[in-house]
Chain A
């Protein structure tokens, strides 16, 4: 925090170096940053991954989409191995893979309607790292986009739009054109996803295997295709003409993901008035920009009380900084180009904010009307990983029948099923709990400091993503919309 930002390795330095370094060096750079936890938390990881994959795709020279897919997959494998607990990395890689498949299949189905034409709301980044050979881009916009390198140091803190345009941005891209989200069901072999998959026709009669067992009399001469052959028959396995501009479409799509990362807080905040009512007592936890923006949006219209749990010992400094200044205390303020009212604290909007220690959660829960939580990542079964303490809060909320609202961008939603929860929990620096100076104590007592909690799905009442509010049991569907089954294990 004390050092100047330009010296601190992190997202800002990575994004700055990305435009100059060759792609391979950038990949290695990001891997080392992830391994050293110099980029951590979902959104910085997501932004870094997306920007890197943008470079990877832009640099890709061939015409063969299969090679591009395996290239992206390979890079994704390396990144995920570097830091498997940052699930946002894997999510973005899978999104990009799904995007590539989408573009290829979409071009097959509807020739001549490339994706780049459709979404007028795309705001591509006009940055020097833009590949020059890419003609199809609208060339404008975004001197104010924080994702270009000038503002890139504060991906968490900076909101995408100056506030005067943010409401417009919300309305115009209320539901951004996610190329991966809508078309997948219509184009990608509908029969295979349905229960009718059992009956789907064999593509080619293959003599490969004769079934064992009872042979019905009429069709012994027509050996069926074993299913594994059919399953493997994705469209990419077939030789096909891939249009030359598929790369441009993919790049556009990746920029859309960047755009989504940019706007996700505003989009989530646009639902605030539906969920926060006058004179309510809201309990929240840890320092999350998403939650702050959500509360701030509601505070423009309504008066309510916020109880802020400090989340000692990992996030309490940021939590307090958020209460005072409206933003995290990451020592990067000097680089922020404009400190405007985007980061006004809730108190400035006339909201009563009360800081409470983690231990007081249960005692005060009986007076709380609603719990609003941020999350680290959301699992496909509707459970979530959030800052340590979240489980205790949701348990207390359950006890008092208090509704629990979880705010999460879709990019945090992971298709990975939580097979072993212990593996997902990361442990942090025990020195934050007990000072290492306290030699006698440290020597005799084991100190653990888990960073995250797993909250099971039945403790959450509703998720609000940038696509809107969803029941936890519905999240599987959003997963299906955004990721391809074949990409789930990378």
Chain B
């Protein structure tokens, strides 16, 4: 993980238009809420494009410094910056490596900058197009007579399944088991209510996907995540989305994905991940607790009464960097993610084809080194 510590804004950063300072966090949130189809990495890229266009920079190092300031600000303001850091990393690497390419006729700074500024929408469109490409390709995985298990509110999975349903035009011959934990959300404490917005949205997306599938004639069963093991015998394949695909080929995805992977593995069912390649992130987690985010999942409470009010004695893992008192907001349980290691994953369906988990590192190495 690249540094998530907020650095001091550079003098150059401060010197620009004092009237209306550009707020990357607001921009990011605005972009995400304005377009429900936007993924977090792409929203981050888009925010950086807007940040660049709002600040005239003249030199390369000035631009890079500005970008890293904005990236640091953005990352520190978001409870789970893993996914968006895939986008910001990609953007920064692109800038650096296209400036480093000496042979390229477009290698000069001005041209690269202009390219990035003028084609921001193009990047967004491409990212959305990638989702459609994945759906078009991945729907071939959903064969007649198969039962697919999926979870979460992943838009890629939703469009893949809907594309598969549309392709079979009227005579749908596959079934879907959808893990929807709507009941569990009510169990969250008062402290988590502020995060309920996103969780609700994800839940709504899951419900919308289910409704969309049913409208297309696909038989869908919704189950709580506690029933995954029970249902596994009926399942032919598992397809999940991902927030981020990490360097070793594992994925970071909604809480509950890891156990689905474990169960699928033990039942010998293929476990496919659908993710656009801009979600590849340079991160090498070794275990669940190695993620550079704080999650409010394990809350040890000794006092029964205070536990209910959410003020219990908490033993949180302080090993993760919490610096200068400006601790990152914790990820609420509804927003929490887990890490599914690569040995549980049969294949990663990207817009570039089906990759084995070990191919992810190569793609990342291509842009980083």
A→B interface (CB under 8 Å): 193-199, 201-202, 211, 213-219, 222, 224-228, 380-382, 417, 419-420, 471, 473-474, 476-477, 485, 488
Q: How far, in whole Å, are A225 and B367 apart by their CA atoms in the complex?
A: 24
Q: Which residues of B contact A228 (CB under 8 A)?
A: 129
Q: Which residues of B contact A202 (CB under 8 A)?
A: 119, 122
* Cβ-defined contact, A196 with B97, below 8 A: yes
Say if the beta carbon of B21 comes within 8 Å of chain A: no
* Cβ-defined contact, A211 with B121, below 8 A: yes
A-contacting residues, B298-353, CB 8 Å: 346-347, 352-353
Q: Which residues of B contact A417 (CB under 8 A)?
A: 347, 354
Q: Which residues of B contact A471 (CB under 8 A)?
A: 358
User: Which of the listed residues B93, B117, B353 has the most CB atoms from chain A within 10 Å of its own CB?
Assistant: B353
Say if the beta carbon of B141 comes within 8 Å of chain A: yes
* Cβ-defined contact, B31 with A214, below 8 A: yes
* Cβ-defined contact, A196 with B121, below 8 A: no
Mark the stretch among B45-53, B75-83, B183-191, B225-233 that contacts chain A.
Answer: B45-53
Interface string of B94-124 (1 = CB under 8 A from A): 1001100000001000000001111111111
Chain B residue total in the interface (Cβ 8 A): 52
* Cβ-defined contact, A381 with B347, below 8 A: yes
Q: How far, in whole Å, are A93 and B366 apart by their CA atoms in the complex?
A: 29
Q: List 12 A-B contacts (CB under 8 A).
A: A195-B366, A195-B367, A198-B123, A201-B119, A211-B124, A216-B49, A216-B50, A218-B118, A222-B118, A222-B119, A224-B125, A227-B129
Residue of A nearest to B124 (CB): A211
Q: How far, in whole Å, are A197 and B91 apart by their CA atoms in the complex?
A: 11
Q: How far, in whole Å, are A294 and B123 apart by their CA atoms in the complex?
A: 51
Q: How far, in whole Å, are A170 and B140 apart by their CA atoms in the complex?
A: 41
How close is B137's CB to chain A, nearest CB, in angstroms?
9
Residue of A nearest to B45 (CB): A198
Q: Which residues of A contact B140 (CB under 8 A)?
A: 419
Which 6 pairs show the lowest CB-CB distances between chains A and B?
Answer: A224-B122, A227-B129, A473-B358, A227-B126, A219-B118, A199-B94
Which of B106, B124, B346 sits near A381, CB closer than 8 Å? B346
Q: How far, in whole Å, are A195 and B121 apart by their CA atoms in the complex?
A: 17
Which of A196, A215, A380 sits near B354, CB closer than 8 Å? A380
* Cβ-defined contact, A218 with B117, below 8 A: yes
Residue of B nearest to A218 (CB): B53
Say if the beta carbon of B356 comes within 8 Å of chain A: yes
- Supplied contacts A199-B94, A213-B37, A216-B46, 18 more A-B pairs, CB within 8 Å: A193-B352, A196-B367, A198-B127, A198-B277, A198-B278, A199-B123, A211-B121, A211-B125, A215-B121, A216-B49, A216-B121, A219-B117, A219-B121, A222-B118, A381-B354, A476-B354, A477-B362, A488-B353
How close is A422's CB to chain B, nearest CB, in angstroms?
9
How close is A151's CB to chain B, nearest CB, in angstroms?
39
A-contacting residues, B40-71, CB 8 Å: 45-46, 49-50, 53
- Chain A interface mostly: loop
Residue of A nearest to B360 (CB): A195
Say if the beta carbon of B90 comes within 8 Å of chain A: yes
Residue of B nearest to A420 (CB): B143
* Cβ-defined contact, B352 with A227, below 8 A: no
Say if the beta carbon of B297 comes within 8 Å of chain A: no
Residue of B nearest to A214 (CB): B34
* Cβ-defined contact, A201 with B126, below 8 A: no
Say if the beta carbon of B363 comes within 8 Å of chain A: yes
* Cβ-defined contact, A419 with B121, below 8 A: no
Q: How far, in whole Å, are A81 and B32 apart by their CA atoms in the complex?
A: 47
A-contacting residues, B114-152, CB 8 Å: 115-127, 129-130, 140-141, 143
Say if the beta carbon of B244 comes within 8 Å of chain A: no
B→A interface (CB under 8 Å): 31, 34-35, 37, 45-46, 49-50, 53, 90-91, 93-94, 97-98, 106, 115-127, 129-130, 140-141, 143, 277-278, 280, 346-347, 352-359, 362-364, 366-367
Q: How far, in whole Å, are A159 and B256 apart by their CA atoms in the complex?
A: 55
* Cβ-defined contact, B366 with A476, below 8 A: no
* Cβ-defined contact, A381 with B117, below 8 A: no
Q: How far, in whole Å, are A282 and B122 apart by their CA atoms in the complex?
A: 57
Q: How far, in whole Å, are A410 and B94 apart by their CA atoms in the complex?
A: 34
* Cβ-defined contact, B366 with A219, below 8 A: no
How close is A15's CB to chain B, nearest CB, in angstroms?
35
Q: How far, in whole Å, are A203 and B346 apart by their CA atoms in the complex?
A: 36
* Cβ-defined contact, A224 with B121, below 8 A: yes
Q: How far, in whole Å, are A201 and B283 apart by their CA atoms in the complex?
A: 28
Which of A195, A216, A420, A473 sits near B357, CB closer than 8 Å? A473
* Cβ-defined contact, A195 with B46, below 8 A: no
Q: How far, in whole Å, are A278 and B110 apart by their CA atoms in the complex?
A: 65
Q: Which residues of A contact B97 (CB under 8 A)?
A: 196
Q: How far, in whole Å, are A196 and B364 apart by their CA atoms in the complex?
A: 10
User: Which of the listed residues A193, A217, A218, A488 has the most CB atoms from chain B within 10 Å of its own CB?
Assistant: A218
* Cβ-defined contact, B121 with A194, below 8 A: no
Q: With A194-B366, A195-B280, A382-B356 as known contacts, state yes or no: A419 contacts B143, CB within 8 Å.
A: yes
Residue of A nearest to B347 (CB): A381
Residue of A nearest to B363 (CB): A195
Q: Which residues of B contact A196 (CB under 8 A)?
A: 90, 93-94, 97, 367
Q: Which residues of A contact B355 (CB under 8 A)?
A: 476
Residue of B nearest to A473 (CB): B358
Q: How far, in whole Å, are A380 and B98 apart by their CA atoms in the complex?
A: 32
Q: Which residues of A contact B37 (CB under 8 A)?
A: 213
How close is A399's CB to chain B, nearest CB, in angstroms?
15
How close is B84's CB to chain A, nearest CB, in angstroms?
14
Q: Which residues of B contact A214 (CB under 8 A)?
A: 31, 34-35
Q: Which residues of B contact A419 (CB under 8 A)?
A: 140-141, 143
How close is A462's CB to chain B, nearest CB, in angstroms?
14
* Cβ-defined contact, B356 with A381, below 8 A: yes
Q: How far, in whole Å, are A197 and B90 apart by their CA atoms in the complex?
A: 10
Q: How far, in whole Å, are A487 and B305 apart by their CA atoms in the complex?
A: 65
How close is B38's CB to chain A, nearest CB, in angstroms?
8
Q: How far, in whole Å, are A419 and B237 apart by their CA atoms in the complex?
A: 11
Residue of A nearest to B106 (CB): A201
Q: Which residues of B contact A217 (CB under 8 A)?
A: 53
* Cβ-defined contact, B119 with A224, below 8 A: yes
Q: Which residues of A contact B126 (CB under 8 A)?
A: 197-198, 227
Which of B116, B119, B346, B356 sits near A476, CB closer than 8 Å? B356
* Cβ-defined contact, B141 with A195, below 8 A: no
User: Which of the listed residues A199, A228, A477 has the most CB atoms from chain B within 10 Å of its own CB?
Assistant: A199
Q: Which residues of B contact A473 (CB under 8 A)?
A: 356-359
Residue of A nearest to B350 (CB): A195
User: Which of the listed residues A211, A216, A380 has the most CB atoms from chain B within 10 Å of its own CB?
Assistant: A216
How close is A478's CB to chain B, nearest CB, in angstroms?
12
Q: How far, in whole Å, are A488 and B353 apart by their CA atoms in the complex?
A: 10
Q: Which residues of A contact B50 (CB under 8 A)?
A: 216
